[in-house]
Amino acid sequence: MPIIGIYLAAGKSRRMGQNKLALPVGKMALGSLALDTAVQSKLDVICVVTNADDELSWMPDQLKSHEKCKIITCPDADEGQSASLRCGIEYAAESGASAIVVLLADQPFLTIRMIDEMVSRLKLHPDSKYIATSYNGTMKPPILFTRELFPTLLTIRGDQGARNLLRGVLSDEGKQLPCEDARLVFDVDNPDDYASLLSLLE
C-alpha cells in the first residue's frame, strides 16, 4: 500500500498579506521548494491540497505534470488547516494508503532525508501509529501518520493541525525523530519570516 504525502497549500496567507507561496526564493517560488523535495523522496504520491482561488502560479509546470503529484482543491479551505488535512486524508484513504506524511508548503528547508527517514523508521517499527519530527521537544511537521489514525484525524476541526492529538493520548504510541537544525523546521508565516529566509540564503 502506498505512503502518500499530504502537501498543505490551501492557506490564505493572511499574516503575509499576499500569497506567500508565490514569493520568489532564488529561481523558484516559496511554495515549490518543499514540493520539489517531496517528489524526490520515497513517497509514492504527493497530494497537493489547494484552495479554489489559487491559480497555482507558484507551481512550475514540471511539478504540475509530475507523475507523483495529484492536485486537489479543498472547498472548505476557509475553515482552516484542519479542513485541508481532511481533504488530503480522504484522498489517501480512497487511494488505499498505508500512511500519510503531512507536509507544509511553507517549510522551504525540508530535506529528502527527513521524509525518507520517516518511511524507513516506520518499516523498522511497524506498530508505531506516527513518526514525528521534533525540535527542542516539540513535535513539528513533517509528521507521518498510519492508516489506523485516519478516523481520529478526520475529527479535527478549526485552524489547527494534528499536534494536539500527539501531545495527548497518542503521545506514547509513536516515535519522534529529533531535529537539531532549526532551519529544517522553519516555516514562513509573515514578512519578517520571509526576510529571515532571504537572509539565511545569502
Q: What tens digit of pLDDT does each residue of 83-118 get?
A: 899 999 999 999 999 999 999 999 999 999 999 999
Distance from C-alpha of 120 to C-alpha of 117, rounded to nearest angstrom: 5
Can you give the pLDDT at residue 171? Answer: 66
Can you give the pLDDT at residue 185? Answer: 93
Quote the number of domains for the chain: 1
Q: What tens digit of pLDDT does each residue of 145-189 get?
A: 999 999 988 888 766 666 666 666 566 788 899 999 999 999 999
Contact (CB, 8 A) for 100 and 4: yes
Can you give the pLDDT at residue 78? Answer: 82
Can you give the pLDDT at residue 168? Answer: 62
Give me the CATH number covering residue 118. Answer: 3.90.550.10
Can you give the pLDDT at residue 130? Answer: 93
> Domain containing 58: what range?
3-201
Nearest to 162 by CA among 110, 93, 78, 88: 88
